[in-house]
Structure 1
Amino acid sequence: MEPLSYCHRKVAPPGSAIYYALRFSPDDQRDALVAVHAFHAEVTEIPDEVSDPGVGEVKLQWWRDEVQRLFDGTPRHPVSQALAPAVARHDLPADAFTEMLDGTGMDLAYGGYPGFRELTVYCHRTGGSLARLLTAVAGTGSAASAHFAHDLGMALTLRRRLLSVRRDAQSGRVYIPEDELEQAGVSREDLLGHETPPAARTLFREQADRVHAFLDQAESHLPDAERAVHRSGIILAALDRALLREMAKDNFPLLEQGFELTPLRRLWIAWRTARQQQRLSRKAA
C-alpha cells in the first residue's frame, strides 16, 4: 500500500477527529501531519497489542532502529516512508520520535504513577512529543509554539487516558496519580467495575478540569498571528473540549460507557474553529 494511504487508513478514516483536523489544516502541512499522527498511533498502540512486556520491548527496539533508518534515509515501514519527506521538508527533530518511544516504554514498565509530577513525565514523552512534531510541521519555531506544544500534548494525553480509564485498568495500567486516587477514596479495583461510583465520578470530573486547564494554557500561548498555521492542533483541542463537555453532561459514567462525537458535529466544530483561527491571523497581519 502507498505510504500516505496507509497513514490515512491508520489514523484518519472519514469522520474521525484527525480526519477533520487534517481536512482544515494548511495544504502544505497535511501529508506531514498525517504521517506524524500515524507514527504516534503505531508506537503508542504497542502496549495494547501485546500481553508480554518483553514482546513489547522487542517491538519498541524495532521502532528505535527504524527511526535511525528513517534519519539515515532507508526507512522500511510505510509510516516511516511517509515521514521521510516530512523530516526533510520540515526539519523534524529526531529526539521527538525517540521521546515518544521512551513514553511507550513507560507503558510497558509501569502500572501507575505516585503523583502528578511523575505522570507529567509520561505525558510529556507521549503527547508532548506528538504536539512538538505537529508544531514543527507548522514551522514557526517560536517560544510561543513550544509552550503551546507542551500544554497541548499534556491535554491530549490526559484526555485520551481519561476516556480509556477502565480499559487501561483492565490491562494493569492506571493514569490517575495514586495520591489523587487515595484522596478521592477510589481504589484501582473500583476502576474495573461496570458502574461508576459517585467518588469516581467526582475524581473523573477533576481530571477533566485539569485537561481543560491545559487546553486553556495551550491556546493562551499563541499570538493571533500564529494561530492559522497551528489550526490543526487547535482543532484537536476544540474537539477534545466538546468531548469533555459531553462526558460532563452525563456526570462522567466512564466505567460503563464510552463517548464519541458524531461526524457531523466534528465537521461543524472543525470548520468553525479553522475559520476563527484564519480570521484572527488575518486581523493580526
Structure 2
Amino acid sequence: MLPDQYCQHKAAKSGSSFYVSFRFLPSERRRAITALYAFCREVDDIVDDFPSDPGGARRKLDGWRREIADMYAGRPDHPIMQALMPHLEVYSLEKKYLDAIVDGMEMDLEKKRYGDFSELEKYCWHVAGTVGILAARIFGATRRKTQEYAEKLGLAFQLTNIIRDVGEDAARGRVYLPADEMNVFGVSVDDLRNRRQTSAFRELMQFQAKRALGFYDEAFALLPDQDRLSQKPGIMMASIYRELLLEIGRCGFPVLIKRVSLTKVRKFWLAWKAWVNG
C-alpha cells in the first residue's frame, strides 16, 4: 500500500466529520490534510489501545517523536510520515506543532482530571489548537489572524468532542469537565460513572455547550475576509460540529447513556451548504 493510500484508508476508516470536508479540496491539499489527519488518528489511538499499560503507550509516543524527527531530517520511515513530508515546506508545517500534538496525547496518560478551565484549555490547545493551525496552513492561510481563528476553532471542536464523549470518557476513567464547575453544579465523578442523567448534570452540560458555542462565534469573528475562501474546509467542519453540538442539546444532553451523532447525509448536506454559502 502506498503512503497516500495508507493515510486515505486511515482517515476514511475513522468515519469522522472532518473527512467529509477533505473531499472538496484540490488534490495536493487533500493529500496533505489527509496525511495530517491520519497522523492525529494514529497517535490518538495509542492511549486507548494501551489502557492498562501507560509505559507501553509512552514508548509508542516516543516512537512517534522519533518518526517526526526523522521526517524533518529527510528520512521518513512510517507511511504517514512519508506521505506528509512532501508538504512540510509547501505549507510551512512546523515540527513544534506535531511534537505538541504528541505531548497532548501523553497528557492523557498523566492527567485524568482538570481542576479548572484554564487547565483544560491548555490540553485542548495541544490536541486540537495545534491541529487547527496546521490545517489552516494547508487550506491556504495568508493572515496572522487566521491562525488565531484556527486555534479558537480547534478549541470549539475539542469542547464539542468532550461534551459528546462524557459518558465514554468517564467509563475509561477520564473526566474532562473542569472539577470546579462540576462542584458548582453539584455533579460528582460518581454521577458520571453511574450514568446519572440528573437535572444538575443537564444544567452543567448546558453551561459547557454555551461556552463551546461562544468559541465558534469568536473563531468566525477572527477570520479575515481575505482568507474566508481558502478556509472553507474549516468552515464546513465547523458547520457539522456546531450542528452536532446543537443536536446534543436538543436531545437533552443524553451523553451519559448514548452517543449522539449526525447521519452521513446530514453531514454532507451541511458541508455542501457551507461550501456554497461560506
TM (norm. structure 1) is: 0.93
Aligned to 1:45: 45
Aligned-residue offset at 1:138: 2.5
Q: How does 1:169-208 map to 2 (within 5 A)?
A: 169-208=170-209
- RMSD over equivalenced CA pairs, Å: 1.5
Asked whether the 8 Å contact 1:123–1:154 carries over to 2, the reply is yes
Name the CA distance, whole Å, in 2 between partners of 1:14 and 1:199.
33
Name the CA distance, whole Å, in 2 between partners of 1:145 and 1:205.
29
Name the CA distance, whole Å, in 2 between partners of 1:268 and 1:13.
20
Name the CA distance, whole Å, in 1 between partners of 2:150 and 2:19.
20
Say yes or no: does 1:67 pair with 2:68.
yes
Name the CA distance, whole Å, in 1 between partners of 2:139 and 2:63.
29
Aligned to 2:35: 35
Aligned to 1:247: 248
Asked whether the 8 Å contact 1:235–1:269 carries over to 2, the reply is yes
Aligned-residue offset at 1:49: 1.1
Aligned-residue offset at 1:114: 0.6
Aligned to 1:19: 19
In structure 2, the CA distance between the partners of 1:173 and 1:126, relative to structure 1 (3 Å rule), is: same
Asked whether the 8 Å contact 1:113–1:119 carries over to 2, the reply is yes
Aligned-residue offset at 1:194: 3.5
Asked whether the 8 Å contact 1:12–1:34 carries over to 2, the reply is no
Aligned to 2:85: 84
Q: Deviations over 1:64-113 (max 9, x none)?
A: 00000110111111211111111132121110000101111111100111
> For residue 4 of structure 1, what is the amino acid of its counterpart?
D
Name the CA distance, whole Å, in 1 between partners of 2:166 and 2:156.
15
Q: Deviations over 1:150-208 (max 9, x none)?
A: 10111111111221111211222111110011111111111112442211111112111
Q: How does 1:68-217 map to 2 (within 5 A)?
A: 68-217=69-218
Count of residues paired in the alignment? 277
Asked whether the 8 Å contact 1:36–1:83 carries over to 2, the reply is yes
Name the CA distance, whole Å, in 2 between partners of 1:45 and 1:210.
27
In structure 2, the CA distance between the partners of 1:211 and 1:25, relative to structure 1 (3 Å rule), is: farther
Say which is worse superposed, 111-120 or 84-93, in terms of deviation: 84-93
> For residue 97 of structure 2, what is the amino acid of its counterpart?
A
Extract unaligned runs of 5+ from structure 2. Answer: none
Asked whether the 8 Å contact 2:7–2:35 carries over to 1, the reply is yes
> For residue 201 of structure 1, what is the amino acid of its counterpart?
R
> For residue 36 of structure 1, what is the amino acid of its counterpart?
L
Name the CA distance, whole Å, in 1 between partners of 2:152 and 2:62.
28
TM (norm. structure 2) is: 0.95
Q: Deviations over 1:40-81 (max 9, x none)?
A: 111122211112211111111000000001101111112111
Asked whether the 8 Å contact 1:15–1:266 carries over to 2, the reply is no
In structure 2, the CA distance between the partners of 1:245 and 1:54, relative to structure 1 (3 Å rule), is: same
Asked whether the 8 Å contact 1:26–1:229 carries over to 2, the reply is no
Asked whether the 8 Å contact 1:128–1:150 carries over to 2, the reply is yes
Name the CA distance, whole Å, in 2 between partners of 1:226 and 1:53.
42
In structure 2, the CA distance between the partners of 1:239 and 1:4, relative to structure 1 (3 Å rule), is: same
What SS does the aligned partner of 1:218 have? helix
Asked whether the 8 Å contact 2:67–2:81 carries over to 1, the reply is yes
Aligned-residue offset at 1:131: 0.4
Aligned-residue offset at 1:16: 4.3
Aligned to 1:256: 257
Aligned-residue offset at 1:123: 0.5
Name the CA distance, whole Å, in 1 between partners of 2:145 and 2:277.
19
Name the CA distance, whole Å, in 1 between partners of 2:277 and 2:44.
32
In structure 2, the CA distance between the partners of 1:26 and 1:206, relative to structure 1 (3 Å rule), is: farther
Asked whether the 8 Å contact 2:140–2:231 carries over to 1, the reply is no
Name the CA distance, whole Å, in 1 between partners of 2:259 and 2:109.
24
Aligned-residue offset at 1:274: 0.9
